[in-house]
Amino acid sequence: MSAENAPWLIAGLGNPGPGYAGNRHNVGFMVADLLASRMGGGFKSHKAGRAMVLEGRLGTPGVSSRRVILAKPLSYMNLSGGPVKALLDFYDIPLDRLIAVHDELDIDYGALRLKLGGGDNGHNGLKSITKTLGPDYHRVRFGVGRPPGRMPVADFVLKDFSTTERKELDYFVDRATDATEALIADGLERAQSAYNS
């Protein structure tokens, strides 16, 4: 398959199971769920990787719609690389058509940063993907802010969003979903100028 005809793989990062559903660490799953509803489909388990997958199209029907494989790895965050690699291999997708959507501690709550490549910044999901595939994939970084006081990072990201944060969470997830669509439709630079904050 030629690179320009290859689908995009959007991997929303998180931990499986209802106990993690509202955690800050699961914002990638939240964005993936909203993308799935926009695509008008539901996730199904995939034989190639430990992931829930939805195949479909994003964007305006016709010329500007893009083929997309939407995935929620089920391996737990720190082992995300295995399922993501299995899906890239199965669908023959080049690495620069991978978008990882994830929580980011070093950005204020709700702010977004889109980028290609770079380090993992201590994020275990990115660490696993980069170790497995290298760093040259797109990221949609969703700011969750820093833990208060001396709270350990692991405790902070595995807690649900606060009551105050939840008041704006739907709006921020919607915006991150728009940014992910824009990255595919318009390219990185235009999406960055529209959404990076």
Catalytic residue set = 25
Cβ atoms of 70 and 54 closer than 8 Å = yes
Cα 93 from Cα 60, distance rounded (Å): 22
Give the helix/strand (H/E) hosting 87.
helix 81-91
Long-range contacts of 183-186 (CB under 8 A, 24+ apart): 183/99, 183/114, 183/138, 183/140, 184/8, 184/58, 184/59, 184/66, 184/68, 184/99, 185/58, 185/59, 185/64, 185/66
Q: Which residue has the tokens 């100028």?
A: 193
Cα 77 from Cα 27, distance rounded (Å): 12
Closest of 164, 29, 172, 23 to residue 110, by C-alpha: 172
